Structure 1
């Protein structure tokens, strides 16, 4: 009769695994789990970190969010900024990746040039865009050269947001292009060879082979770009400061203002919890979509 072995949760392998995981779990608990739990607790309180301290107020901070017109304007700004950033940040890098995936001269140099914005500091990039689009900046100088009146890019409620969107697209293109290139190289060349034999043109090959083969990559790029735009802070802080007239105030900058300018930490924590919930939903959708592959 064969021997049966009962595997205890305290056997050598399990104990070794816990020993090696413990340092990582401690760091995860201290720097991620505990801050999130404390943020959630803080969203149900009011007061400040002074001698008076904080006190429990229940759901009042969330109720204030629902009734605050400035918060809903910020939500509208954030949705506009996110959608207007995601769509070009998918289309442009995908087109560049398809072109650079072919045997072109200077392909390596072009890849590096397109990826360069991704490694530039957001603060440095923001200062550069602020200089470009100021009233006496190079962009207005170019417009004046062609006889077009100067535009108050950063002082106009209509044009200020497109400047932030343009910078975010420019910053994200390189990273997304590299991800798309990796996805394109994972598609078997035999599929394109078979399509050539069947007489499919370039557009038909792109629509029926490239896009279906890039489906997981497109989902990944969409989610990561959405998270990048949702957490945007440096662009607003450096270029517009949320103005003019709150037209470029995004959710993260709004949280910063409420917490560190108004010292309303409970209200800011409630807004941050909303941002966390949206981010977790996006991650969940990504995992669910990948699970269907």
Structure 2
């Protein structure tokens, strides 16, 4: 026999749920209008060709995606993006992690050094890009140092070999402070008694780092990898300011390639198809992060 009556607590929970949806409704409408709407329109554009002129756009189906598969420039850009992302993520994890371990200890000027290392995270990428372009120009300070050490100057930004490492150096430097703070927060969440027990067992610094610090930072490292990869995948300013995708397309990454196709060649359908590929990569990273949250909870 079912109970026709509801307890007051059940009514209260239902009222709270209704109130929650009422308060969430404006945010959900804005989210749908400014996020989901443009994504849907991007997906539609990827099946069209033409520009926003009197002729309008024309439906072409999967032709833009087939063109992506057959375009050697797109595959070169994907290779550049993979190289750029992998190198930036690795350097943006190893160096900040080492700094966080050092700055987690008590010593004079620790607060000053933490602030100094965090400053790159709040600087303008355009300003930093202009500074790096000046530093690495043929007659710039970096080549002056190279010649002072007795080596031949290097055409950093005109070389297909060295231009990308300059971009990676800038991006890693820009991400250094943020990841350092993330790792510091993770280190402070590790119980100190674990290190004390390891010291009693005779563990050295490397053993404590390998068996206590790294396992304790597992979720923090995954978070840093995902956020750094997303930051790197959407990189545009440093490419635009320093190299413009050159020389010989060697520093052209996916976001800059999309920009070129859309606003230099006005091929919006093809640019939308490339942007959809980028969106797919980003959603994979977001899914990995959500999976991590699910395992933690």
Q: Does 1:131 align with 2:127?
A: no
Q: 1:36-185 alignment to 2 at 5 Å?
A: 36-185=39-188
CA distance in 2, matches of 1:182, 1:44: 45
Among 237, 240, 246, the residue aligned to 1:237:
240
Alignment match, 1:221: 224
Alignment match, 2:250: 247
Shift of 1:143: 1.3
CA distance in 1, matches of 2:289, 2:256: 26
Q: How many residues align?
A: 293
Q: Which runs of 5+ in 1 are unaligned?
A: none
Shift of 1:9: 12
Please tell me the root mean square deviation across aligned C-alpha atoms, in Å: 1.8
Alignment match, 2:6: 5
CA distance in 1, matches of 2:12, 2:258: 44
CA distance in 2, matches of 1:89, 1:10: 46
CA distance in 1, matches of 2:34, 2:137: 40
Among 196, 201, 218, the residue aligned to 1:198:
201
- Identify which range, 182-191 or 7-16, moves more after superposition: 7-16
Shift of 1:147: 2.4
Give the secondary structure class of the aligned counterpart of 2:130: helix
Q: Does 1:269 align with 2:272?
A: yes
Shift of 1:219: 0.3
Give the secondary structure class of the aligned counterpart of 2:246: coil
CA distance in 2, matches of 1:49, 1:240: 29
Shift of 1:11: 5.0
Q: Summarize deviations over 1:151-192 as a string: whole Å, max 9, x none.
A: 100001111000000001111111000000000000011111
TM-score, normalization: structure 1?
A: 0.96
